[in-house]
C-alpha cells in the first residue's frame, strides 16, 4: 500500500500545509490502488479534475471520454472482461445523470462497475438552495443500481470503497453508485490515521458451492433426459467457466446453444453447437440446463410457441448465483445455486466415463437441421449483390474474425447486430460484447475503448449507422489514445433501412432515415485516424485486414443496400399491433 507524502494539491490547488497530513484525494486514490483498481474511465470537471490528474501522475491509467455515458459503458465492459469492478468518475448532476444510464445498464447486464460522482454538500442539497449542479444524486441512483453509498468523512473512504467493491462483484454482479460530496476531497487526516483507515478487500467474490443433494437431484433429472439441451449465457462467460463447461459438454455429449455474449465459450464451430438449429432444439428439447442465463425476453420467457410448451412442459435445471432468479418466468425443477465454476465442478464430479450420451436420434436430427441451415447460409454468404447485403458484407467480417480469433468483436444495431450474431463465429471466450439484456444502442465506442484498453487486443466494432451515432464522437478518444480499433459502419442510410418516406407528403424526412450516403469515414479522418469507404466485399475484407495490420484507429464506411433491412431486425414481433386509421 502506498500512502503518499502529503497531498501535492488539494481541491483549491493549494499545497497542504502540514506534511503529516493526507486528504480525501489521496485516500481515495490509495483505497482504489490498494484494491488493484488500475484504470479509471471518466470525464473531468469540478470536483474530480484534480483527482484524475493526480491518479494519472501516480501511475493509474486514466481514460477520459467525450460523454459520460460512454465512459460508464467502458467501465461496465471493463468489469465484464476483468471481473474487477470498472470505475467511472463524473461530475455532479448532469455528468452523473449521463453516467447513470450506463450504471443501470451494467446492473441489468450483471456487470460489475462503480460510478463515482462528485456532488454538492448535503446541507445545500437537502434545503434545495440551488447549488452549482445541485441534485440529490444518491436518491436518484438507488433504484437503478445494485447498491448506493455516500461517503461524508475522509476517514470512511476505506470503508466506502470496500463496500462498493464487495457490492459490485459478490453474488450477482452489478452497478454501484458512490456519492462523494466535493468537500470530502480536501478534508484532511493525520497521515497514519488515514493509512490505517484503508481496507484491502479479502475475497470480494466468494466461491459458493451448491448443496450436494441439489447436485444429485439435478444429475438425476439430466440422466432421465431423452433430448437434453444446454443454454449458455453471459453469466457463464463472466464466471470464466469455459474449462468446466467444455469438459461437461465433451463428457455428456449434450448439444448447446450459446446466447450472444456466451459465443466462444466453446468455439461456434463445435459439432455440438446447436446454434444453426435454434428453433428446433428450443421446441423439441425435454430437459434444458440453463448455465448463467435468464429466461427473459431473449428466450421468450421460457414460454409459448418458441418452446412448444403445448407438447408438454419441459424440465429446467438452472445454474445461477442469484436464488431469486429461479422461477422468475417458469417453474424450475432443479435449481443449482452457486457460482458457475463451483456448480459445474460439482456436476462434473457426478459424471463418469459411463455417462449415457443423448440418443443418436436427437443429435442426428439436430445435425441434419444444422447442415441444411448452414448450406442455405453459405449460399447467401457467397452471393455478391451490389450494393452489398448485410450477409455479403458480413462474409468478409466472418473471415477476418476467423483469421484473428483473439480480436474482440463489439456489435450493435438492429439488422447489423442480428446478422452479425448469427454469421460471425467466435472462437474464444469473452470476445464478444454487444447490446446485452436491454438491447441498448450506444454501447459501441465505450465498449470498444474498454476492450482495447484492458486487454490490449485488436477490437472490431460492427456498427449499424444509427447505433454508431449514439457514441460516434468517441472516435476522437480512439485517436487520442491510438487504440487498435477497427469500426465498420454498416451504412444503410438509416434505422433498419433507408427507404422510409414521410407519409404526409411533407418535406421533413421520415423518422427512421438519415442523410443519404453520409461519409462516416471523414469523422475518423478529422482526428487523424484512418477512414475508408467501401462498396464491395473484397474492398471491405482488404480494408479490415489493413486496419488490423496497421493497428491504428480505423473507420470503414461500408455501403449496404438501403432496402435490405427489416423493421426492428429479428424482433419485429415486439412492435405493438396497429390499426389502420380510416
Q: According to CB under 5 A, which one of 179, 268, 412, 465 is a site residue for Mg ion?
A: 465
CB nearer to Mg ion: pick between 320 and 465: 465
Peptide bond into 334 cis (omega under 30): no
110 makes contact, choosing from Mg ion, ligand TPW, ligand ADP, none, with CB < 5 to 8 Å by partner type, with ligand ADP
Q: What span, in angstroms and rounded, lies between the C-alpha atoms of 436 and 423?
A: 18
Inter-residue contact 240 to 83 (CB < 8 Å): yes
DSSP 3-39: PPSS-S--TTSPPPS-TTEEEHHHHHHHHHHHTT--E
Compare residues 110 and 219 and give the one whose CB is closer to ligand ADP: 110
Q: How far is the CB of 413 from Mg ion (least distance, A)?
A: 6
| Residue 427 cell numbers, joined | 472462437
The answer to whether the CB of 2 falls within 8 A of the CB of 33 is yes
Q: Which is nearer to Mg ion, 189 or 555 (CB)?
A: 555
Q: Is 449 in the site for ligand ADP (CB under 6 A)?
A: no
Q: Cβ 32 to ligand ADP, closest distance in Å?
A: 23
Closest-by-Cβ residue to ligand ADP is 235
- Minimum CB distance to ligand ADP, residue 298 (Å): 5
Specify the stretch interacting with ligand TPW by CB under 6 A; choose among 51-59, 60-68, 244-252, 410-418.
Answer: 410-418
Residue 235 binds which entry of ligand ADP, ligand TPW, Mg ion, none, CB below 5-8 Å type-dependent: ligand ADP
Candidates 358, 464, 531, 553; binder of Mg ion (CB under 5 A) is: 464
Question: Among residues 109 and 120, whose Cβ is nearest to ligand ADP?
Answer: 109
What is the three-class DSSP state of 62? strand
DSSP H helices in 239-359: 242-252, 278-284, 340-349
Applying CB under 6 A, the span of 8-16, 320-328, 441-449, 519-527 interacting with ligand ADP comes to 320-328
Q: Is 437 in the site for ligand ADP (CB under 6 A)?
A: yes
CB distance 85 to 46 below 8 Å: no
| Choice between 23 and 465, CB closer to Mg ion | 465
By CB under 6 A, residue 492 contacts ligand TPW: yes
SS (H, E, C) 420-480: HHHHCCCCCCCCEEECCCCCCCCCHHHHHHHHHHHHCCCEEEEEEHHHHHCCHHHHHHHHH
Residue spans of beta strands (DSSP E) within 292-375: 315-320, 334-337
Q: What is the 3-state secondary structure (H, E, C) of 110-167?
A: CCCEEEEEEECCHHHHHCCCCCCCCCCHHHHHHHHCCEEEECCCHHHHHHHHHHHHHH
Is 492 a binding residue for Mg ion by CB under 5 A? The answer is yes
Q: Is 110 in the site for ligand ADP (CB under 6 A)?
A: yes
Residues found near ligand ADP in the complex (CB under 6 A): 109-110, 172-173, 233-235, 238-239, 259, 261-262, 292-294, 296, 298, 320-322, 325, 339-340, 437
Q: Which residues in this chain contact Mg ion in the complex, by CB under 5 A?
A: 464-465, 492
Amino acid at each position: 500500500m502506498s500512502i503518499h507524502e502529503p497531498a501535492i494539491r488539494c481541491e483549491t490547488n493549494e499545497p497542504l500545509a502540514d506534511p503529516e497530513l493526507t486528504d480525501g484525494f489521496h485516500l481515495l486514490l490509495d483505497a482504489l490502488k490498494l484494491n488493484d483498481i488500475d484504470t479509471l474511465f471518466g470525464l473531468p470537471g469540478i470536483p474530480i479534475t484534480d483527482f484524475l490528474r493526480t491518479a494519472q501522475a501516480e501511475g493509474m491509467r486514466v481514460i477520459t471520454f467525450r460523454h459520460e455515458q460512454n465512459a460508464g459503458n467502458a467501465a461496465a465492459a471493463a468489469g465484464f472482461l476483468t471481473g474487477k469492478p470498472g470505475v467511472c468518475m463524473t461530475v455532479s448532476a448532469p455528468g452523473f445523470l449521463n453516467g447513470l444510464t450506463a450504471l443501470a445498464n451494467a446492473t441489468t447486464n450483471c456487470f460489475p462497475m462503480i460510478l463515482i460522482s462528485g456532488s454538492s454538500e448535503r446541507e445545500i442539497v437537502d434545503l434545495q438552495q440551488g447549488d452549482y449542479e445541485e441534485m440529490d444524486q444518491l436518491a436518484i441512483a438507488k433504484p437503478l443500481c445494485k447498491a448506493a453509498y455516500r461517503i461524508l468523512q475522509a476517514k470512511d473512504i476505506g470503508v466506502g470503497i470496500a463496500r462498493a467493491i464487495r457490492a459490485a462483484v459478490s453474488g450477482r454482479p452489478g452497478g454501484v453508485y458512490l456519492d462523494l460530496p466535493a468537500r470530502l476531497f480536501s478534508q484532511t487526516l493525520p497521515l497514519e490515521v488515514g493509512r490505517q483507515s484503508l481496507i484491502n478487500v479479502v475475497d470480494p467474490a466468494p466461491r459458493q458451492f451448491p448443496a450436494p443433494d441439489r447436485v444429485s437431484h439435478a444429475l438425476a433429472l439430466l440422466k432421465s433426459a431423452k433430448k437434453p439441451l444446454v443454454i449458455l449465457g453471459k453469466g457463464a462467460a463472466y464466471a470464466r467457466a469455459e474449462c468446466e463447461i467444455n469438459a461437461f459438454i465433451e463428457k455428456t455429449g449434450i448439444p448447446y446453444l450459446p446466447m450472444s455474449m456466451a459465443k466462444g465459450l466453446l468455439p461456434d464451430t463445435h459439432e455440438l453447437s446447436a446454434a444453426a438449429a435454434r428453433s428446433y432444439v428450443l421446441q423439441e428439447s425435454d430437459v434444458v440446463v440453463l448455465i448463467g442465463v435468464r429466461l427473459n425476453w431473449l428466450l421468450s420467457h421460457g414460454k409459448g410457441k418458441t418452446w412448444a410448451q403445448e407438447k408438454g412442459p419441459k424440465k429446467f435445471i438452472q445454474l445461477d448465483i442469484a436464488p431469486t432468479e429461479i422461477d422468475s418466468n417458469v417453474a424450475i425443477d432443479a435449481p443449482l445455486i452457486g457460482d458457475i465454476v463451483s456448480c459445474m465442478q460439482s456436476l462434473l464430479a457426478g459424471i463418469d466415463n459411463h455417462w449415457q450420451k443423448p440418443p443418436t436420434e436427437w443429435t442426428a436430427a439436430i445435425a441434419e437441421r444444422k447442415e441444411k441451415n448452414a448450406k442455405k447460409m453459405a449460399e447467401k454468404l457467397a452471393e455478391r449483390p451490389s450494393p452489398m447485403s448485410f450477409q455479403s458484407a458480413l462474409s468478409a467480417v466472418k473471415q477476418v474474425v476467423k483469421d484473428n480469433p483473439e480480436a474482440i468483436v463489439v456489435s450493435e444495431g438492429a439488422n447489423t447486430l442480428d446478422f452479425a450474431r448469427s454469421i460471425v463465429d467466435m472462437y474464444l471466450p469473452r470476445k464478444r460484447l454487444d447490446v446485452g439484456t436491454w438491447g441498448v444502442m450506444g454501447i459501441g465506442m465505450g465498449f470498444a475503448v474498454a476492450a482495447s484498453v484492458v486487454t490490449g487486443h485488436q477490437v472490431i466494432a460492427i456498427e449499424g449507422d444509427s447505433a454508431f451515432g449514439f457514441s460516434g464522437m468517441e472516435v476522437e478518444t480512439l485517436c487520442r489514445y491510438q487504440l487498435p480499433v477497427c469500426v465498420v459502419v454498416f451504412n444503410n442510410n438509416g434505422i433498419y433501412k433507408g427507404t422510409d418516406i414521410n407519409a404526409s407528403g411533407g418535406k421533413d424526412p421520415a423518422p427512421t432515415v438519415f442523410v443519404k450516403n453520409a461519409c462516416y469515414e471523414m469523422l475518423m479522418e478529422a482526428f487523424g485516424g484512418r477512414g475508408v469507404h467501401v462498396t464491395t466485399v473484397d474492398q471491405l475484407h482488404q480494408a479490415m485486414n489493413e486496419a488490423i495490420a496497421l493497428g491504428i484507429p480505423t473507420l470503414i464506411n461500408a455501403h449496404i443496400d438501403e432496402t435490405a433491412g427489416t423493421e426492428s431486425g429479428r424482433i419485429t414481433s415486439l412492435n405493438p399491433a396497429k390499426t389502420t386509421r380510416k
